[in-house]
Structure 1
Amino acid sequence: MKRIYKVVATVLLAISANSTFAQQNVQFSQYVFNGLAVNPAYAGYKEEWTAQVLYRTQWVNLPGAPKTGTLSIDGLTDFNRKNMGLGFQVTTDQLGPQKTFSAYANYSYRLRLDEYDTKRLCFGLGLGISQYSLTGDDLTYIDLDDQGIPVGTQSTMSPDLRFGVYYYSPNFYAGASVMDLFADYMATKLQGVDATFPVIKKTRHYYVTAGGLIQLNEKISWKPSFLVKDDFNGPTNLDLTSFLAYDNKVWLGASWRTGIKLWGQDHLKSNLRMADAYSILAQFYVSDRFRVGYAYDHSLNDLSSYEDGSHEISLSFSIPSRKRAEKVLSPRYF
């Protein structure tokens, strides 16, 4: 009955890894430099108020492909004890006719673990709200009387809660977080849209990440990291990333993204292609406070024949504070 042409490829690909029609969380290749997007306990890590903007255009030249933008700022509330961090983040995401806008406030309580204050264990909470909308005019269909296609734009809003734990030292970090804690209790469809039209259904997401910094010589260091994401419906998603840095100013790296089967996921099809994409990444510290980053992704699945890769650019700037001008700030590489 329903035949959607303009965005059918994009929508099917977005949900193909799931046994339900789930709205997946946004994806960033530069997750190492965008910690607040995957863990609220990251707030205040740099110990200076830091603003960041990131824009990602995915699957270039594929109609209806995802486009994501995010703006965040985080820092400390007390530069003496440094035991509380705050972070604010807004994100917009568009997938074909479906749009999402979200805003979060994040709080982190930071426990000092050593005399020299080089190690901290942080616990974070994030509280936010998301607006989901679907524009029926952006769909192309042949049945003009199809009641499953909304007229105009339909939207709904729902709250969300996040929780995370984050540990760091000068040369290592590790974190775990859970997103969309209210997923099981919120409305899962747009207002006014027929219940048989599966557009919005949030699922709870779990993240585990870790990385390190290894000094190879006086000028060159190595920064490996990984990110695991799971919603217990589709394959577990794994990002493996490796950077080489020269003088801690120019960072060049690569990333491999793939699905893996964990937790006895017997419901998944045996012939799923797990390899997702590889990424080429570059980061340049214009100064100690200003960073520019870029990532290019190339798909490794059937989608590669229809699109021209994905591009992601980010900028961040740390704001100096007079209150801590006389204190030495340890370098922050995560």
Structure 2
Amino acid sequence: MKLILFDKIFDNILYSDNLIIVNKIELHIKNLLLTLTIIVGSATLGYAQQGVQYTQYMYDGSLINPAYAGAEDALSISLLHRDQWSGLEGAPQSQTFSLHTPLKSPKVGTGLFLHRESIGVHQNLTIATNLAYHLPLGNNRYFSFGLKAGMINVRSDYQSLQNGNPDPSVNDELFSGTDFNAGFGFYYKSKKFEAGYSIPSIVNRSINVNDSVSLDPINLNHLLFSQYHIPVGKNLVISPGILLKYLQGIPVSYDLNLLTTFKNVITAGVSYRKQESVDFLVRFNLTPQFQMAYAYDYPIGNVSRLAQASNEIMLRYIFKFRYENVNSPQ
């Protein structure tokens, strides 16, 4: 009888010890998940503060500059999906819908811009309209000014980290905020050259571990873009270009790209993003109206130690095509 009682007591002690060990393991796992989330959030802090990032921005200028709305003399629709650092849990993902068209007056263009982005437990949604005025300068040249106005909603869902097992040591708050947003830009285009300057958003979202997501209406993201189209014979166009990006408190960044377009049917090229990635781009004009494009960003430098490659897919449809623009990769 004493032996049986001793066995039961011993079993209970073992069970209690095992339960304590299991609880400690679960707590360590939760803390590890939280730490990984914070690491991912920290790694994407600069990315989030610099605003929306595209590799294939040169195919549709309205993605980064409201002054481009209606510049193609056509109703143009673009769909874009970007998977930043594919395979890394919590890494940025974004989807963008852009529509723009000239109005009855060819000097005025308008557009709609929808963008959704997620980074870990953080999400933001932007809805905006673009309005542009195009001033003809003669000899197939024009200068444009554009305005952008809409709303931006930011949301942080720390409750999703609980996975049904509440832990007081883990932040379980849900933060959501909406604010008015606006932007503006300038755009110049001639037969072979184009350039633009824009501040796409006067409200930036900043991800902080303690303060969740905050809206900053002061720290502006400046973008300066230019591209030159060089015809080589009748069937080939070479297009070098650059995009400069400046945000206060962050070193100036830039994208250098070189694209080659053959018979206005296929475009292929390479781009270098300062200390971040080497990007490979390809685009097919399946018809004069329908375009399909893909970009593969290969990380380099310090980014390559933490991140994997990024993938970006883009679909475009131009409802009216003007053959006068055949020399431009746009």
TM-score (norm 2): 0.82
- Structure 1: segments with no counterpart, 5+ residues: 259-274, 322-326
1:175 and 2:171 correspond: no
1:64 and 2:83 correspond: no
Q: From 13, 38, 41, give the equivalent of 2:67.
A: 41
State the structure with bigger RCO (CA 8 A, min sep 6), 1 or 2: 1
Q: Distance in 1 between matches of 2:222 and 2:206?
A: 22
Alpha carbon RMSD of aligned pairs, Å?
A: 2.6
Write the letter of the residue equivalent to 1:154.
Answer: F
Higher deviation after alignment, 306-315 or 102-111: 306-315
1:199 and 2:213 correspond: yes
- Written as runs of structure 1 = structure 2, the 5 A alignment for 1:201-280 is 201-202=215-216, 203-258=219-274, 275-280=275-280
- Written as runs of structure 1 = structure 2, the 5 A alignment for 1:290-329 is 290-320=290-320, 329=324
Moved over 6 A (4+): 140-143
Q: From 148, 154, 160, give the equivalent of 2:175.
A: 154
Instruction: State the Cα distance separating 1:88 from its structure 2 match.
Output: 0.5
Identity %: 24
Q: Distance in 2 between matches of 1:26 and 1:43?
A: 18
- Structure 2: segments with no counterpart, 5+ residues: 1-30
How many positions carry a matched residue from both structures? 295
User: Which residue matches 1:333?
Assistant: 329
Is the partner of 2:41 in helix, strand or coil? helix
Q: Deviations over 1:90-135 (max 9, x none)?
A: 0000000000111110000110111x5x111000000010110011
User: Which residue matches 2:41?
Assistant: 11
Instruction: State the Cα distance separating 1:329 from its structure 2 match.
Output: 4.4
1:32 and 2:27 correspond: no
Write the letter of the residue equivalent to 1:301.
Answer: G
Q: Is the 8 A contact 1:6 1:140 kept in 2?
A: no
Q: Distance in 1 between matches of 2:162 and 2:277?
A: 29
Instruction: State the Cα distance separating 1:295 from its structure 2 match.
Output: 0.2
Q: Is the 8 A contact 1:6 1:63 kept in 2?
A: no
Q: Distance in 2 between matches of 1:122 and 1:16?
A: 30
Q: Deviations over 1:41-100 (max 9, x none)?
A: 00011110001100000101111011100011101002xx41000010100000000001
Write the letter of the residue equivalent to 2:95.
Answer: G
Q: Is the 8 A contact 2:44 2:91 kept in 1?
A: no
1:51 and 2:77 correspond: yes
Instruction: State the Cα distance separating 1:220 from its structure 2 match.
Output: 1.6
Q: Distance in 2 between matches of 1:71 and 1:179?
A: 15
User: Which residue matches 1:265?
Assistant: none
Q: Distance in 2 between matches of 1:231 and 1:127?
A: 20
Highest CA radius of gyration, 1 or 2? Answer: 2
